[in-house]
Amino acid sequence: MKRLVLFLSLVFLLQSCKSSYSKTELLKENKALKERIKKLEASDTLNKEAALELKKMNVVYRGVANPIYISKPNAVSFEATAFGLRKLDSLGNYNLSPGTGRTVDITIKSKLKNGDSLTETKTLRIKDIGSLNAVINGLGCGNKCEIHLTKEELKSATIGLKVNDFLFDWKFVVTGFKLALNEDEIITVIGAKPNRSTQSFIEELSVNDLVFVFDIKCKIVGAPSGIRYKNPPPILIRIVEEN
């Protein structure tokens, strides 16, 4: 479209000024218009927005070194800056550890092939990693309810962890927990399932006894080191009769 407009302008100029311009002047004007066309076409190609890729959407998590890839097509060079942004290599890989607030701005300054400089700002949302929710056999609702299990179900139970509305592909693996009978007797368990020493404890339970699963420890597979998270609330279990 730009090329067509400039071409028509050139035709109009030649027709309207034919009698007053010399051949040399017309050729000079023609050359100037052609150079302007080339510059506009180059501008369409060069002034592409910087590309910013995250592992998951446009969200970064507080307390996490979020991996980010930044590139600027057709740029001779570019520089990206933001609070908590760290360059990892010359291939466009960065880590972003956001601070306070709900958003973080990444400023990208680039030098284009046509000699122009361009400054762009990319805004990302910041989210906190929510509280971990403890589950037993896939069931759980924090400390707001109690889960009904038979003694046999409790003996073979598996303790797990979930995080609602979490976008990273991390795996939360339970490494240990504690069992408390009526908030009195406490047993420490290593792993995610009741061990042999716990079996006799469970066998002595009666219907309507309350068991608390608390102080749940975990490791996060796939997460960077130094990740911070809130401890999950305990699981409240009431022993019920066998069907």
124 pLDDT more than 80: yes
SS3 14: helix
Angstrom distance (rounded) from CA 107 to CA 117: 13
As annotated, the residues of the chain forming the CATH 2.60.40.2470 domain(s) are: 51-127
The domain defined by 51-127 carries CATH number 2.60.40.2470: yes
Report pLDDT for 57: 61
Q: Which residues contact 83 (CB under 8 A, 6 or more apart)?
A: 98, 99, 104
Residue whose pair of structure tokens reads 């057709």 in the numeric block? 74
Mean predicted confidence (pLDDT) in 17-35:
57
Mean predicted confidence (pLDDT) in 42-64:
63
Report pLDDT for 166: 72
Angstrom distance (rounded) from CA 152 to CA 41: 75
Report pLDDT for 11: 44
With cut-offs at 50, 70 and 90, classify the pLDDT of residue 80.
very high
Bigger pLDDT: 8 or 27? Answer: 27
Report pLDDT for 22: 58
Bigger pLDDT: 86 or 71? Answer: 86
Mean predicted confidence (pLDDT) in 19-47:
56
30 pLDDT more than 80: no
Bigger pLDDT: 145 or 122? Answer: 122
Angstrom distance (rounded) from CA 157 to CA 179: 12
Structure tokens that stand for 95 in this block: 């880590």
In whole angstroms, what separates CA 49 from the centre of its chain?
Answer: 21
With a threshold of 0.75, does the pTM exceed it?
A: no
Angstrom distance (rounded) from CA 44 to CA 107: 22
Name the pairing type of β-strands 133-136 and 235-239.
unpaired
Q: What is the pLDDT of residues 95-121, one digit of tens each?
A: 999 988 999 999 999 898 888 888 999
Report pLDDT for 193: 92
233 pLDDT more than 80: yes
